[in-house]
Structure 1
Amino acid sequence: MSLDSLRELTGAPWLTSGGKGWLCGIPEVSQERDSAPFRRELQMIVRKYDDIDWHTGGDFPADLDASHARTHIALFLEWAIRRGHESDTLRSLHPDALHSIRQGKLSGKDLLAQCCDDKLTSDDLSETGNGFAQAYYEASCLEDYLDLSDDDLPTLYHEPYDQKKTRDICEKLDARFHQWSKQLDHE
């Protein structure tokens, strides 16, 4: 299935194929704009990487409840928290929930629903986490999720949220994060 077909099917505006364009409703900023006042202004913008509402309308499977639209978002958020890429704000507002995530007593799906209003935004991630999320969501997120999905399931929303899926996604994210970090080191 092509990326354009998936955009149309999911109605997910965050799906981009790279280059200059729109990501989560916020225009990408050219690298020529790197003045300090402009950077401060950008820091006040909350970037929305994903939102359960982007997935639950239209062709969302009638046989599933809306929590299934949370799976892929929660897997990314859980990885970020387990690797220490959550924001200071999330740490200060929800320390017990973050501890429970790290202890395996709370799922990323529960955290996303209870603490993040079913959205993954720049407010949830550290500076490093945001740098990676911005690059990853635009370039590889959907492709990786497709690669790790069970082709026998009717839709991506039928994917399980279990230990195996979490482990597989975390391994893929670790590899992507390592690649991204090395690329930064060479710039």
Structure 2
Amino acid sequence: MPRPESDRKYDDASWHAGGDFPADVPYSQGGVHIAIFLAWVIHRGLYNPELFETADVEMVQQRSVSILGLLDRYDEKLVAKELSVEGNAFASYYYGLPQQGVVPPYLKDYGRTLGAGLPSLYHVAPTWENYAKLEPVMDQRYREWVARGRPAQPPGSRASVSASTLRIVLGWIVGIVLFGLGAIIGLAWVVSRLHQ
């Protein structure tokens, strides 16, 4: 697997500061979901060792740095160059790239696991306790992804729905064509019998 474009950006805390960002939480809350995923990537060894200091990795593994402190060290972004090839493949599948109107599987899991009873997902506390709640969910998603052969798109994504729809439509077209050919051949046989 080749290394993806290093400037590809999965997420950026600054993207979350406008629009529907709640006025009652600090700007840093826009990066909690990014920081939790980045911590998981480090815990699972899916990071690019050329870009992460050994001390940073150890602080995450020992949980001696705050969740948001980790994100601050990496410019409040999640970018492709920070991840290993395997990490990028999984991040593309699970975390997703920004797409209008598409909620990636990671954010669905994040919301179900940590967002219950909160006014918004921006109210999730940036704690190692919340990381510990989401960690087994992310681990399960990673195991499922590996078991499925490391697909590029999650089930139900726009790309996989389009491919499924295309297969169904092509199946119908082939069926109609074969039915039509059968009908023409049958009709030709009947006509030939009538003219004998």
Whether TM-score is above 0.5 comes out as yes
Query: 1:98 aligns to what?
Result: 57
Residue 113 in structure 1 maps to residue 72 in structure 2: yes
Residue identity opposite 2:33 in structure 1: H
- Kept after mapping to 1: 8 A contact 2:4/2:88: no
Q: Give the secondary-structure state (helix, strand or coil) at the position aligned to 1:85.
A: coil
Distance 2:4 2:114 in 1: 35
Query: 1:5 aligns to what?
Result: none
The 1:44/1:59 distance shift into structure 2, 3 A limit, reads closer
The 1:155/1:80 distance shift into structure 2, 3 A limit, reads same
Query: 2:110 aligns to what?
Result: 145
Task: String of CA shifts for 1:27-59, please: whole Å, max 9, x gaps.
Answer: xxxxxxxxxxxx86x744422111001101122
**Structure 1 stretches of 4+ moved >4 Å:** none
After superposition, residues 67-106 of structure 1 pair within 5 angstroms as 67-91=28-52, 94-106=53-65
**Which has more radius of gyration?**
2
Distance 1:77 1:88 in 2: 13
Q: Give the secondary-structure state (helix, strand or coil) at the position aligned to 1:62.
A: coil
Which structure 2 segments of 5+ residues have no match?
97-103, 152-196
Q: 2:8 aligns with which of 37, 42, 47?
A: 47
Which structure 1 segments of 5+ residues have no match?
1-38
Distance 2:60 2:142 in 1: 20
The 1:185/1:149 distance shift into structure 2, 3 A limit, reads closer
Residue identity opposite 2:54 in structure 1: P
Query: 2:89 aligns to what?
Result: 131
- Kept after mapping to 2: 8 A contact 1:77/1:108: no
Distance 1:150 1:122 in 2: 27
CA RMSD of aligned residues (A): 2.2
The 1:153/1:43 distance shift into structure 2, 3 A limit, reads closer
Query: 2:194 aligns to what?
Result: none
Q: 2:139 aligns with which of 159, 168, 174?
A: 174
Q: What is the CA distance between 1:185 and its match in structure 2?
A: 6.7
Residue identity opposite 1:78 in structure 2: A
Aligned length: 145
Distance 2:88 2:28 in 1: 24
Distance 2:127 2:94 in 1: 22
Q: What is the CA distance between 1:150 and its match in structure 2?
A: 3.5
The 1:185/1:87 distance shift into structure 2, 3 A limit, reads closer
Task: String of CA shifts for 1:160-180, please: whole Å, max 9, x gaps.
Answer: 122331111111110000001
The range that moved more, 42-51 or 164-173, is 42-51
Query: 1:163 aligns to what?
Result: 128
Distance 1:147 1:156 in 2: 10
The range that moved more, 151-160 or 127-136, is 151-160
- Kept after mapping to 2: 8 A contact 1:78/1:107: no
